[in-house]
Homo-oligomer: A and B are copies of this chain.
C-alpha cells in the first residue's frame, strides 16, 4: 500500500491500512489515521518552525489527492477529502468530514468546524474562523489585513450553514452570520445578517434567503439542508429533517 517510490520518514506515525502513492513524501512530524489514502506527488507534514513542534494530524478514513502539500502543526478529524494541489499551512484545525477543493490554499492559523466544504481554488486567509456546515465556492478569498501591508490581522468569521458563492471577497474582520448567502462576485465590506442575501460591489443586502425558490418549484431553496443531503451521514440528515423539514432535490 506504500508505493516503493514514496519517501516515508521512519519516525512518522502511520495507521493501519494506509496507502501512499508514487513519489509522495511523508515527513517526520506526521500522524496519519487508519485507512487513509494519500495519492502521488504529495508532501505530508511539510516542516516549518511556525508549527512550534506540533505534528500534522490526518484523521482516519481520509483521502488526499495528488500534488497536495500539508504543513506540520495542522489537524483534521476523520474523513477529510481533498482535490488536487491543495495547500494547507500550519496551525489550522478542522473538524469532521472536511472537503477541500482542488487548488485551494489555506494560509494557516484557522479554526474550521465540522462538515465544511470548499470548492476549487478557495483562499482561506490566516486567522479565519469557519463554522459547521459552511459551503465556500470557487475563487472566494477570505482576507485579513485592514490596511495592507501591516501586522494587524483581522480574520473573517463565517457562521454555521452560511454559503459563500463564487469569487466573493470577504474583507478583514467581517462576520457572515448563520444561513446567510453571499452572492457571486460580491465584495463583502460589512457584516452579513443571518438568513440574508448580499450581492454587488460593494455588497448590499438584497433579500431574505427564503425568497429564493428551488428551480421550477414553489419551495424555498434555503435553508439548504431542507433539500440537499449528498455525502452527509444519516445522523446529520436526520437532525436536519427535524430542524429544517424536508423537500426533495432533483
Binding site for B on A (CB under 8 A): 7, 22-23, 25, 40-41, 43, 46, 66-67, 69, 83-85, 87, 102-103, 105, 107, 117, 120-121, 123, 135, 137-139, 141, 143, 146-152, 154, 163, 165-167, 169, 171, 184-185, 187, 200-202, 212-215, 221-222, 224, 227-228, 230, 249-250
A163: contacting residue among B84, B148, B222, CB under 8 A: B148
A167: contacting residue among B43, B107, B167, CB under 8 A: B167
A169 touches B185 (CB 8 A): yes
CA–CA, A20 and B230, complex, Å: 38
A171 touches B184 (CB 8 A): yes
CA–CA, A212 and B72, complex, Å: 37
| Complex contacts, A120 vs chain B, CB 8 Å | 105, 107, 123
Q: How many copies of the shown chain assemble into the complex?
A: 3
A184 touches B143 (CB 8 A): yes
| Complex contacts, A228 vs chain B, CB 8 Å | 149-151
Task: For residue A230, give the distance in angstroms from its CB to the closest CB of chain B.
Answer: 7
| Complex contacts, A169 vs chain B, CB 8 Å | 166-167, 184-185
Chain B residue at minimum C-beta to C-beta distance from A167: B169
CA–CA, A185 and B221, complex, Å: 28
Task: For residue A181, give the distance in angstroms from its CB to the closest CB of chain B.
Answer: 8
B103 touches A84 (CB 8 A): no
New contact pairs (15) apart from A43-B66, A84-B87, A105-B121, CB-CB < 8 Å? A22-B23, A40-B43, A41-B41, A69-B84, A85-B85, A105-B120, A117-B149, A141-B167, A143-B166, A147-B212, A147-B215, A148-B163, A166-B169, A169-B184, A200-B202
CA–CA, A80 and B103, complex, Å: 22
**Among all A-B residue pairs, the 10 with the closest Cβ atoms:** A147-B221, A185-B187, A151-B249, A201-B201, A169-B185, A152-B215, A149-B228, A169-B184, A167-B169, A141-B166
